[in-house]
Amino acid sequence: MDVISVIRTKRDKGELSPEQIDWVIDAYTRGAVADEQMSALAMAILLNGMNRAEIARWTAAMIASGERMNFDSLSRPTADKHSTGGVGDKITLPLAPLVAACGAAVPQLSGRGLGHTGGTLDKLESIPGWRALLSNEEMLHVLDTTGAVICAAGDGLAPADKKLYALRDVTGTVEAIPLIASSIMSKKIAEGTGSLVLDVKVGTGAFMKNIEDARELASTMVGLGTDSGVKTVALLTDMSTPLGLTAGNALEVRESVEVLAGGGPADVVELTIALAREMLAAAGIKDADPAKALADGSAMDHWRRMIAAQGGDPDATLPVAREQHVVTAPSTGVLTRLDAYDIGIAAWRLGAGRARKEDPVQAGAGVELHAKPGDTVTAGQPLLTLHTDTPEKFDYAMKSLDAAWDIAPEGTAFTANPIVLDRIA
């Protein structure tokens, strides 16, 4: 078997054999296939796709590259959630402790930023002392004692995906549906969760720009999970506008804590509760009310214990960017569009994301929103605040915002998209 033949097969729109898939995943994991060769194969997959059998075999090979975890020793059922990535998508942060407060165990394996979308681990690492890297024993201990854990996948869990995940981010192949589906589901199946809720984003700020592609991805992942014995449900959710009022790392942590304290933006609260209900139902927990757990402080209690158990200080002051630049509304009227992709690119350029897999991120960088679609704005009022430690980045970030919003005349009727667009089970 040789990698050139594998690349040519997919380049020429052929079907990869099970043997080719098993070999190339194993060889790449061992280092026998170079990054530039896997980049070529990933691009061929992006352009030419994979059928259901290929995706299933690719996923199985990724799982087989490492170990599988087991949570049978826990006294409560396990439920996990995964988002395909969006702008301002901090939902995991309040969701994991909320579901734990309602009686499920949440083993949340999360990732870092991909392209213009933020990464949960990057956000949480803005909390002083917090650790993303836990051994399997540490992960199980945190899960058993606090009800929830958010951490990086260990080196032994789907190591093929860990290499490929970072490579996709810097080679323009993040959007490939077969690679998204196999990346997510290989980790989730190997992780050993009993049930899984998928948040498949749709819109300009998502990797799936239209609902048809999102349904294809969701159906593929639900099938992969179900076939592997994991009860899997997917919600298609809107990502045409950023979630909440922040896009960045420490900025989003602050907003998540506001939600846990019983406040926060209405769209973040709505989606957090909707996903919590799906997770609890999938785990077989029927008598818990996540809205009540947010209101009575029990979700906040679980958050504080979870952060502390991973070395973080829940009372610590979060990093703040050294420089800010305010963007004002150019006219008076109704804000009818605020493009999630453009906001995500601006946050990335300010330092909240990375251009290379080795790059650090700035904890305080990002974009703060002062209005959302449907709001009336006045010419000259703050519309956005840009945050960064490197002010020379402001001009570069501003270029991504040239067409980021529309303002219609006062009195223009506006109807927002629903947060949840569809459900696939």
Among 81, 82, 162, 304, the active-site one is 82
Specify the amino acid at residue 367: V
How many Å separate Cα 295 from the centre of its chain? 25
Among 187, 231, 304, 393, the active-site one is 187
Eight-state DSSP code of residue 205: T
The Cα diameter of the chain in Å comes to 66
- Strand 323-328's sheet: what is its strand order? 246-248, 366-369, 382-388, 323-328
Token pair of 301 as six digits: 């209690």
Pairing mode, if any, of strands 405-408 and 376-377? unpaired
Among 65, 83, 183, 195, the active-site one is 183
Decide if 286 is catalytic: no
Q: How far apart are CA 124 and CA 361, in angstroms?
A: 12
How many Å separate Cα 228 from the centre of its chain? 22
Decide if 183 is catalytic: yes
Q: How far apart are CA 275 and CA 234, in angstroms?
A: 10
The per-residue DSSP string of 257-299 comes to HHHHTT-S-HHHHHHHHHHHHHHHHHTT--S--HHHHHHTSHH
- Find the radius of gyration of the CA atoms of the chain: 21
Decide if 141 is catalytic: no
- The closest alpha carbon to 365, from 123, 172, 176, belongs to 123
Token pair of 13 as six digits: 């729109």
Decide if 186 is catalytic: no
Residue 75, classified by CB atoms within 10 Å of its CB into exposed (0-12), middle (13-18) or buried (19+), is exposed
Token pair 């998928």 is found at 198
Whether the CB-CB separation of 83 and 111 falls below 8 Å is answered with: no
Among 89, 161, 238, 267, the active-site one is 161
Q: How far apart are CA 206 and CA 46, in angstroms?
A: 16
Decide if 131 is catalytic: no
Token pair 């030419």 is found at 48
The per-residue DSSP string of 300-343 comes to HHHHHHHHHHTT--TTSPPP--SEEEEEE-SSSEEEEEE-HHHH
- What are the residue ranges of helices labelled H in 147-210? 159-169, 177-191
State the number of CA atoms in the 13 A half-sphere of 136 facing the CB: 11
Among 57, 81, 168, 302, the active-site one is 168
Whether the CB-CB separation of 199 and 68 falls below 8 Å is answered with: no
| Active site residue ranges | 82, 161, 168, 183, 187
